[in-house]
Amino acid sequence: MNEDDQALATNLEDVLQAGEQLRHRAPASEATIAVTDRRLIVADPHRVALAVPFERLRRIQFDVERNRPATLVIVPEHPSDEAQVLTVRPEQYEATAQALVAIGLELAASGHQDVAGQA
């Protein structure tokens, strides 16, 4: 494990709450996306850029283009939480896709609860 990987692991460990379980970890060029059983975390070796519960996510967009790295945009609900724009290389697609499926399922579940509460 190189120095940056060690610093990133420390950042992720520091931000995890008691009992919080890391489910997916997907590297991007600028940072790592971590999905826990409670929230989404975006961290690099120097800082945690975003750590929000799923219900505070507004939108996630994953754009894949021919002959270019993909772009992942994470937009939180609150403007005080900084939106994240990450570059994802083709060799990172699979891990990113697994993280996106987990996030999508959490968003869908919270959306169903919101709809049920309005009925």
The predicted-structure confidence for 10-67, as pLDDT tens digits, reads as follows 678 888 999 999 999 999 998 999 999 999 999 988 899 999 999 999 999 999 999 9
What is the pTM (predicted TM-score) of this model?
0.86
pLDDT in the model for residue 12: 80
Q: How confident is the model at residue 3 (pLDDT cuts 50, 70, 90)?
A: confident
Q: What CATH number is associated with residue 18? A: 2.30.29.30
- Give every CB contact of residue 112 below 8 A, 6+ residues apart in sequence: none
Task: Phi first, then psi: give them for residue 21, nearest 5 degrees.
Answer: -110, 130
Chain-centre distance of CA 101, in angstroms? 11
Token couple for 21:
């379980």
The answer on pLDDT for 115 being more than 70 is no
Query: Range of 86's domain?
Result: 3-118
Residue positions counted in the chain: 119
Give the chain's domain count: 1
